[in-house]
Structure 1
Amino acid sequence: MASEREIFSLTGPSYLTTIDWNNSHHRKSIAASLVQGVYILERDRQQNRLGPQALAPSWWEFFNFVLNQVLVDEDDHSFFGAIYEFKFHHPYPNHPGGQNPPKYVIAFRGTINKPGNRSQDFKLDLHCFMNNLHKSSRFRVGMEATQNIVYKAGLGNVWLAGHSLGSSIALLIGRNMVKNCIHIETYLFNPPFMSPPIERIKNEKLKLGVRFANSVLTAGLAIAVNGASKPKASQDNPFIVLSSWIPYLFLNPSDPVCSEYVGYFEHRANMEKIGAGKIGTLATQHSIGSIVSAARGKDSKPLHLIPSAYLTTNLSPSKNFKEAHGIHQWWKPDLQFKYELHQFKHDH
């Protein structure tokens, strides 16, 4: 029996009958719906829903996309990603000008806590926590697919999108494409931040103190282990090179999986205000876990840390963790949001 949350006509953004591609809420809602389409693709596969019984197609056909390719996990053969192709050639019919729709969207689902998915998905969650998701088959398959689509469609015609674990995969792919000077418009919903949830501390002074102490400790360890007191030239520092890529992050402060991104960016700005910008800049590029790994001779860059981002924070109250972490919140029309651009600044 299908859940209401799987049926587009009941829970999807069916109110978007006219799309304005210049509207950030429209773009966000479409990206989130396409990610939801991947979830439902896998549920259709699990429950053998074929043809007219399949529920997934409505999640992309409503927005004039077709399914170009399904991305399959090599280990459990589940559907973890999809490549969607926009049906119309540019310019978009009746489009008033400005931003065009993407020719392709590559979307990745997150963890499904159901029999048949739980084992592999939880294993990948652990890989994410251990900072070695880049060694997984999902990342490799997704990376190859992205490279092929970008080569086919050209720059500026491709989006990446993901939710939760899928956000981590999309983030890794986006970071790797930047190494080749390719910047992909990227939508990351509830991306995991591998850190204790300091943002959940209610006492603001205590929270600030914990963050400051953590920054000093992280910066000090980075200098001791990596010799980071001698900064690399801009072109040799991968964090600085990455700073020109600005993905869209969609966060809920009630979701402990992603809420730490809010504090991560705000704390960096606060360190500048109190004259500790150099400590903040150094700390923001490292995690204690990656420093310890480096000291043991292992290459373990903190892949969840990014220098720049557009943050959209959902300020509406959430009933529980499932709602705070869920993909459905991101297309609701009546939510309160906070928008912020965080651009990494560095000395030349």
Structure 2
Amino acid sequence: MASEKRCFYYSGPSYLTAVDWTNLQHRRIVAASLVQGTYCMQYDRRHNLQGNLAVAPPWWVSFNFQPVQVLVDEHDQSIFGAVFEFTPSYGNYLHQNPPRYVVAFRGTSFKKYTWKQDLKLDFQFIRNRLHQSTRVQLAMQAVQNMVSIAGAANIWLAGHSLGSAIALVAGKNMVKMGCFIETYLFNPPFTSVPIERVKNEKLKHGIRFTTSVIKAGVAVALNSQHQRSQKDHSFNVLSGWIPYLFVNPSDPICAEYIGYFEHREKMVEVGVGNIARLATQNSLGNLILGATGKDSEPPHLIPSAYLTINVSPTQDLKQAHGIQQWWKQNINCQFKLHQYR
């Protein structure tokens, strides 16, 4: 029997019986539910659950979606994502501009048949090599196909944890092709020491400032003016794309996004914007790789984002990192737009 957390009618947002597509919270709930649907697809496949026994369908049928493509990793044959098509049952939905397609990706699953490949991809993300994986290549093909069919304005990307990293890489690549896709990233991984977890504000600010100065200095020392100008141009191109980031300060995997954006703004306010500019588009890892001739772009660094922080109390890391929090009815969230200028 499926666990209660996979049952839509037990743990899912069954209270949302009518979606207002102009409401960000409703869009968040739908996007998170479709991502959960990809987790449950893999669960159904592994346990050979079909028909009335399958737990996945309510996660998309409840919001008038149907899967039109399932994305399967060729290495472990696991389902890691899906393309969902909106199938309205009421004419008024059409006047609220819902997405025509949503491409959703699950995160790491520590199950018998998936954990090895998922962890391998987690390490590829840390090493700035996720874009080389066949999983990302399949994801990019699916996204490009949907853009060619419906146009970028009619598509959403969504993912959780490792899945949000895949969506992030795909979204950034599409921006470079001139396509800006609405994107929902739940608990996206940030490959850095989680300084946000430091409780002393002065110490935290000091660590961030010192790290920024070091990164800026290394960037100037290792990169020519031409290389820095190219990076500036690339970052400026991305700045017009504003994905929705959903993070929990108690989750060390994604919490650093909070400090990443807030510290950059503080540095601009105190007059060290040039240091902030160099620090915000570089990681020490990619600078070191660049020095060895292995150029790489940090997949987690983005210029702009609409940041949603869940400040509701959480019991443990599992809850703080879980996708389930993002469809809860009464979570306490803080919202802020961070736009790179």
TM-score bracket, normalised by the shorter chain, equals over 0.9
Amino acid at match of 1:316: S
Give the 3-state SS of the residue equivalent to 2:92 in structure 1. Answer: coil
Counterpart of 1:110? 107
Partners of 2:200 and 2:324 in 1: how far apart?
A: 30
Conserved? CA contact 1:21–1:100, under 8 Å = yes
Among residues 236, 251, 255, which one is paired with 2:251 in the alignment? Answer: 255
Counterpart of 2:31? 31
Partners of 1:319 and 1:230 in 2: how far apart?
A: 46
> Which aligned segments of 4 or more residues in structure 1 are displaced greater than 6 angstroms?
none
Conserved? CA contact 2:171–2:181, under 8 Å = yes
Which digits, 9 at most, give the CA deviation of each residue in 1:45-88, with x for residues without a partner? 11111111111001000000011110000111100000000013
Aligned residues: 341
Give the 3-state SS of the residue equivalent to 2:157 in structure 1. Answer: strand
Counterpart of 1:312? 308
Amino acid at match of 2:277: T
Displacement, 1:229? 8.8
Conserved? CA contact 2:125–2:299, under 8 Å = no
The alignment yields a C-alpha RMSD, in angstroms, of: 1.5
Partners of 1:94 and 1:322 in 2: how far apart?
A: 39
Does structure 1 residue 143 correspond to structure 2 residue 140?
Answer: yes
Displacement, 1:227? 2.4
Question: CA 1:233–1:126 in structure 2 vs 1: closer, same or farther (change >3 Å)?
Answer: closer
Counterpart of 2:163? 166
Which digits, 9 at most, give the CA deviation of each residue in 1:161-210, with x for residues without a partner? 00000000000000000011100000000000000000000000000000
Partners of 1:64 and 1:17 in 2: how far apart?
A: 11
Conserved? CA contact 1:222–1:228, under 8 Å = no
Does structure 1 residue 329 correspond to structure 2 residue 314?
Answer: no
Question: CA 1:62–1:198 in structure 2 vs 1: closer, same or farther (change >3 Å)?
Answer: same
Displacement, 1:233? 6.9
Does structure 1 residue 283 correspond to structure 2 residue 261?
Answer: no
Partners of 1:88 and 1:95 in 2: how far apart?
A: 6
Counterpart of 2:189? 192
**Structure number with higher helix proportion:** 2
Counterpart of 1:76? 76
Counterpart of 2:151? 154
Counterpart of 1:13? 13
Which digits, 9 at most, give the CA deviation of each residue in 1:242-278, with x for residues without a partner? 1000000000000000000000000000101111111
Amino acid at match of 1:27: R
Question: CA 1:44–1:268 in structure 2 vs 1: closer, same or farther (change >3 Å)?
Answer: same
Displacement, 1:228? 4.8
Displacement, 1:93? 2.0
Partners of 1:307 and 1:96 in 2: how far apart?
A: 32
Does structure 1 residue 123 correspond to structure 2 residue 120?
Answer: yes
When structure 1 is superposed on structure 2, of 273-282 and 29-38 the one drifting more is 273-282
Partners of 1:19 and 1:174 in 2: how far apart?
A: 25
Counterpart of 2:215? 218
Identity %: 57
Counterpart of 1:58? 58
Counterpart of 1:94? 92
Partners of 2:220 and 2:91 in 1: how far apart?
A: 55
Question: CA 1:95–1:149 in structure 2 vs 1: closer, same or farther (change >3 Å)?
Answer: closer
Give the 3-state SS of the residue equivalent to 1:254 in structure 2. Answer: coil
Amino acid at match of 2:202: K
Amino acid at match of 1:42: Q
Give the 3-state SS of the residue equivalent to 1:15 in structure 2. Answer: coil
Displacement, 1:155? 2.7
Partners of 1:193 and 1:41 in 2: how far apart?
A: 27
Amino acid at match of 2:238: L
Does structure 1 residue 134 correspond to structure 2 residue 120?
Answer: no
Displacement, 1:230? 7.9
Give the 3-state SS of the residue equivalent to 1:55 in structure 2. Answer: coil
Amino acid at match of 1:93: G
Partners of 2:278 and 2:121 in 1: how far apart?
A: 29
Give the 3-state SS of the residue equivalent to 1:316 in structure 2. Answer: coil
Give the 3-state SS of the residue equivalent to 2:153 in structure 1. Answer: coil
Which digits, 9 at most, give the CA deviation of each residue in 1:211-247, with x for residues without a partner? 000000000000001125985279x721111100000
Partners of 1:134 and 1:229 in 2: how far apart?
A: 25
Counterpart of 1:240? 236
Partners of 2:134 and 2:94 in 1: how far apart?
A: 41
Question: CA 1:96–1:138 in structure 2 vs 1: closer, same or farther (change >3 Å)?
Answer: closer
Does structure 1 residue 265 correspond to structure 2 residue 238?
Answer: no
Task: Extract unaligned runs of 5+ from structure 1.
Answer: none
Which digits, 9 at most, give the CA deviation of each residue in 1:275-305, with x for residues without a partner? 1111011110100000000000001111110
Give the 3-state SS of the residue equivalent to 1:111 in structure 2. Answer: coil
Conserved? CA contact 2:88–2:94, under 8 Å = no
Partners of 1:230 and 1:164 in 2: how far apart?
A: 31
Give the 3-state SS of the residue equivalent to 1:105 in structure 2. Answer: strand
